[in-house]
Amino acid sequence: MSDKRKGLQNAIEELLPGCEHRDEMKNHSGDLFPKIEKYLEQMKKKSIEYIAHWNGKDQFEIETSYGNRIRVHSGAKTCSCRRWKLTGIPCAHVISGMYYCGYTPESYADECYKIQTYFKS
């Protein structure tokens, strides 16, 4: 297991305690692990609170309801809240930007959270 993957796994275990079982996942129809999917759904709901301002190319400024500005760089896969880099899953700020562009947030989740990748390894 690579260091990057190990780091991601630790982050996700902290975020979503309890491991998935392979058998559970075999019957799962989505592309992502069920827990990741659930987390993403929560972030999607939260993203509605934000207003995305496009800064050109792959950069956004996300305005929160408190008037804070969060910077998202989708090309570099970074968000100034740092969650995206830490977990490999788009945070609510990123999703807000994705929706602005018409992209699907699922496709921005790290490859290691995709069930196909898991069964390949």
Number of H helices, E strands in the chain: 6, 4
Tokens of 107: 């496709």
Measured from the CB atom, the residue of 9 and 80 that comes closer to Zn ion is: 80
CB of residue 43 to Zn ion, shortest distance in Å: 9
CB of residue 73 to Zn ion, shortest distance in Å: 11
Measured from the CB atom, the residue of 8 and 81 that comes closer to Zn ion is: 81
Measured from the CB atom, the residue of 95 and 112 that comes closer to Zn ion is: 95
Q: What is the distance between the alpha carbons of residues 41 and 113, in angstroms, rounded to a whole number?
A: 15
Long-range contacts of 82-89 (CB under 8 A, 24+ apart): 86/11, 87/8, 87/11, 87/12, 87/15, 88/8, 88/11, 88/12, 88/112, 88/113, 89/12, 89/36, 89/39, 89/40, 89/43, 89/113
Measured from the CB atom, the residue of 110 and 115 that comes closer to Zn ion is: 110
Residues 55-114 that bind Zn ion (CB under 5 A): 79, 81, 91, 93
CB of residue 40 to Zn ion, shortest distance in Å: 13
CB of residue 70 to Zn ion, shortest distance in Å: 6
Residue ranges in contact with Zn ion by CB under 5 A: 79, 81, 91, 93
